Amino acid sequence: MQNQTTDFGFERVAPGDKARRVAGVFSSVASRYDLMNDLMSCGMHHLWKRFAVHVSGVRKGQSVLDVAGGTGDMTALFHKRVHAEGLVVLSDINRDMLDAGRDKLCNQGVVCGVDYAQANAEKLPFQENSFDCVSIAFGLRNVTDKAAALRSMHATLKYGGVLVILEFSKVVLPLLQRLYDTWSFRLIPWLGRVVANDEASYRYLVESIRMHPDQETLKHMLEEAGFARVEYYNLSGGIVAVHKACKV
């Protein structure tokens, strides 16, 4: 019987090895993460994140869990919606990314109504039925066991709560595909080498996008995890997609 393997970019590796190597990638890129996001997306990631928060329908006083929240962009946007009366928990499995997010949010004056937790998306350390909304932006594709993470997020949500996933997806405009491939496989690793001095990490990030489930596959995975009323929105021709699902 063959040992179980999972994807690390285009490689097949042991699950434990993927977790270790992903941790190394994000520890390496943490200090330049925001700058590289701006360069790689030409600033579009800010608009994608705003749309995802809008779709969530989060209101003043509610509670939000930002899974794999990294440097805190989504946390800051959700905080503006829930205000100090609500709560946003920024969680990330990687301590370097979590520290970068805490420092940035504190520098922006985002203090009251925000908490932090180093947490594995596959085994979230929160009580069941705790949050009105769970969000994961550009993090699901790096999770080793995506199905386990979806089940864990489902358990953490209150009944009537929503999960919002913002992630790179499958391009749906044929004329865009060639340009997108050139940008992804040539320019992004080059930017990683020149700006972050880490071409390998950004080559992995590009490959991880191609290995992530497409829009319909992820929709089915959400339904299998127990979610209902699953819908998705293609942004920028399907370069990214926002999935919204409810716990009923």
Q: Mapped to the 3 state alphabet, what secondary structure does 70-119 carry?
A: CCCHHHHHHHHHHCCCCEEEEEECCHHHHHHHHHHHHHCCCCCCEEEEEC
Q: What is the pLDDT of residues 117-131, one digit of tens each?
A: 999 999 999 999 999
**Percentage of the chain exceeding pLDDT 70:** 99
C-alpha span between 111 and 138 (Å, rounded) = 24
| Residue 101, domain member (yes or no) | yes
pLDDT of residue 92 exceeding 60, the answer is: yes
What range does the domain containing 22 cover? Answer: 6-173+201-246
Average pLDDT of the chain to the nearest whole number: 95
Contact (Cβ atoms closer than 8 angstroms) between residue 224 and residue 213: no
> What is the band of 1 on the pLDDT scale with cuts at 50, 70, 90?
very low
**Is 180 a residue whose pLDDT tops 70?**
yes
Question: Has residue 185 been placed in a domain?
Answer: no
- For 112, phi and psi rounded to 5 degrees? -70, 135
What local confidence, expressed as pLDDT, does residue 174 receive? 87
Summarised one tens digit per residue, pLDDT across range 201-213 is 999 999 999 999 9
pLDDT tens profile 151-163: 999 999 999 999 9
Provide the pLDDT confidence category of residue 102 given band limits of 50, 70 and 90: very high
Q: How many domains does the chain have?
A: 1
Contacts of 208 (CB under 8 A, 6+ apart): 7, 8, 9, 141, 142
Dihedral sign for Cα 117, 118, 121, 125, please.
negative
Tell me the CATH number at 14.
Answer: 3.40.50.150
Position 2 pLDDT exceeds 60:
no
CB distance 159 to 129 below 8 Å: yes
CA–CA gap between residue 151 and residue 156 (Å, rounded): 9
What does the pLDDT average to over 103-107?
A: 96
Q: What is the pLDDT of residues 211-233, one digit of tens each?
A: 999 999 999 999 999 999 999 99
What pLDDT is recorded for position 3? Answer: 54
pLDDT of amino acid 132: 98
How far is residue 225's CA from residue 6's CA, in Å, rounded to a whole number? 19
Q: What is the mean pLDDT of residues 3-27?
A: 89
Tell me what pLDDT residue 16 has. 87
Domain-embedded: residue 29: yes
pTM of the model: 0.94
Q: In whole angstroms, what is the distance from residue 192 CA to residue 115 CA? A: 31
Task: Look at residue 218 and tell me if it is in a domain.
Answer: yes
Q: Is residue 192 part of a domain?
A: no
One-letter identity of residue 116: Y
- Residue 186 maps to a domain: no
Helices and strands in the chain, H and E counts: 10, 9
Q: Is 119 part of any domain? A: yes
Please indicate, yes or no, if residue 188 is contained in any of the structural domains: no
